[in-house]
Structure 1
Amino acid sequence: MDENFWLQAWKTNNIGFHWSEANPVLVTYFKELALVKGSRVFVPLCGKTLDIAWLLSNGYHVAGAELVEIAIEQLFIELGVEPKISELGQLKQYSASNIDIFVGNIFDVSSQILGSVDAIYDRAALVALPDEIRHRYTAHLREITGQAPQLLVSYEYDQSLMSGPPFSISDEEVNQHYGDSYDLTLMASTNIPDGLKGKFAATENVWLLTNNVSVPGAKSLA
C-alpha cells in the first residue's frame, strides 16, 4: 500500500471517497447477510466512514482497520465518543463501547488481534489496492476473519482511463479472489450517474459472499 499517498490525502482533506452519509449499498443490502443484532462486523480500510455510525446505530458491533490515524481520530470525534487507545505491536487500537479500530497496516492485523467477526463489509478496501497487492489482501482477509460472509462493493471501468484508486475490478477477478472460498452472488450492477469521479463511465457492483447459500433471482458466479 502507498502509505504516503493516503497520509497526504487525509492531511490535505483530499477525501472525495468519503461520503457525507451512510452508503446506500449498505442500507439496502446489509440485511442480506442475515445477521442478528449484536453481530460483529469488520470494515477493512474504514477511514471515518459514516457507515460505521449506521452499523452502531442499528445494533451491530464494529471492528475496523485503517492505515491513517488522522482518519480514526476524526471518526471518534464525529461519533462523539472518547476512545481508549492502546499499543499492539505495530498497531494502535482505538476502542469504545461496541467498536474497535486497529490503526496501522492491515497486514499486521492477525486473527488473534482482530478477534471473532461475523461478517465483512468491504466498500473501500479491495478497490483501493493495486493489482499486485489485491491477491495478498484477499487471502489475508479470509485468514483473519475465518472466511466470514461478506458484502463487497467493486467498480468496473476502463482502467486505461485512470490509474486509480479506486481500481477497476472485473467479475472474473472477484471470482479469482473468492470463487474457491465462497458462493458469489451479484446483488446489483448499476451504472454510476455522471461516471466515476464525474468523468469516466463505470459500473458499481454489489456482491454477497456466503458459504453454500443461494439467493433467488440473482446472478451467481460460484
Structure 2
Amino acid sequence: MEHEFWHARWKHQEIGFHEGTVNRYLHDHWPEMVQTGTETVLVPLCGKAKDMWWLYDRGHPVLGIELSPIACKDFFEEAETKALVQPAQPFIRYIHDELQLWCGDFFQLVPDDVEHVRLVYDRAALIALPPKMRRDYAEHLTAVLPDQARILLITLDYEEGAIKGPPFNVADEEVHQLFGEDFEIEHVLTNPLEKDHPFAKRRGLTEGVESVFKLTRKD
C-alpha cells in the first residue's frame, strides 16, 4: 500500500477505521501495562485517535507517528488545542506539551527517536497493513524499540474475503509468527465482534473477533 492510498483516504475522509471515542480495550487493559504511570507511549500509525488524549491526560508523554498531515492537523483542531509545528526531515513534528505527533513514514523511525519509549499502543497499525507490510512493520518496530518497551496490541480477525481491508484480518497465529521470536505473548482477551458494533454495521461484517495481547520482550 503506497503513501498515496492513505493520503487519498484522509483527503476524502474515508476513515472508517477512526473510532471517534476512547477504545474500550485500552480503557480496560491499560492499567495492566503501567508501572510508573509516566512511561512514554508510542502510538504507531495513530491517525487522529482520541486514545492519545486519554493517555496524555493520565500522565503519559505520548509520541504518535502518522503519515497524513490532515490527520495531524485534525487531531489538534478537533480538541481546540494549538500545536507548535516544527518542519524537519524525515518528520514534521506537531508538539503540544508532552504530546507529539510526528508526520511522516513510520519506517523512517530510528532507535534514537524512541529510546525513551517504554510502552506501545497498537490498535490500528498492524491491522491497517496487508500481509507483507505487516511483516515489515513488526520487524521494524522490534528493531527500533528499546528492550524495556512493552506492547498492548489489539487485533481483528474475520473470515478471509468477508470485507476488503483495511482493516485486514489478523489471526492469533500470525501475531505469534510476527512477534513470538522476540516477545513473550500473553493473549489477554478474545471478544466476538457484536453485530451492532458501529464498524461491523458500516462494513456489513457479520462475524469477527477482536483480541487483546500484551507483548513483553524476551530476556
Q: Aligned residue for 1:210?
A: 216
- 1:174 corresponds to 2:164: no
The aligned amino acid for 2:208 is: A
Instruction: Please state whether the residue corresponding to 1:20 is helix, strand or coil.
Output: coil
The aligned amino acid for 1:197 is: A
Distance (whole Å) between structure 1 residues aligned to residue 182 and residue 77 of structure 2:
38
* CA distance 1:35–1:88, change in 2 (3 Å): farther
Q: Aligned residue for 2:139?
A: 139
Q: Aligned residue for 1:39?
A: 39
- 1:81 corresponds to 2:87: no
- 1:29 corresponds to 2:29: yes
Q: Aligned residue for 1:216?
A: none
Unaligned runs of 5+ in 2: none
- 1:188 corresponds to 2:194: no
After superposition, give the CA deviation of every residue in 1:37-66 in whole Å (9 maximum; x if it has no partner). Answer: 221000000011000110011111100100
Q: Aligned residue for 2:71?
A: 71
After superposition, give the CA deviation of every residue in 1:6-61 in whole Å (9 maximum; x if it has no partner). Answer: 21221222222112210001000011112322210000000110001100111111
Instruction: Please state whether the residue corresponding to 1:197 is helix, strand or coil.
Output: helix
- Please say if residues 102 and 109 of structure 1, whose CA atoms lie closer than 8 Å, have aligned partners that are also in contact: no
Number of aligned residues: 213
Q: Aligned residue for 1:106?
A: 106
- Please say if residues 116 and 145 of structure 1, whose CA atoms lie closer than 8 Å, have aligned partners that are also in contact: no
- 1:20 corresponds to 2:12: no
TM-score of the superposition, structure 1-length normalised?
0.90
Q: How far 1:212 moved relative to its partner?
A: 5.7
Instruction: Please state whether the residue corresponding to 2:200 is helix, strand or coil.
Output: coil
TM-score of the superposition, structure 2-length normalised?
0.91
Instruction: Please state whether the residue corresponding to 2:37 is helix, strand or coil.
Output: coil
Note the aligned Cα RMSD (angstroms). 1.7
The aligned amino acid for 2:36 is: V
Distance (whole Å) between structure 1 residues aligned to residue 182 and residue 162 of structure 2:
32
Distance (whole Å) between structure 2 residues aligned to residue 184 and residue 114 of structure 1:
22
Unaligned runs of 5+ in 1: 214-222
% identity of equivalent residues: 31
The aligned amino acid for 1:93 is: R
Report runs of 4+ in structure 1 exceeding 4 Å deviation: none
The aligned amino acid for 1:36 is: T
The aligned amino acid for 1:107 is: F
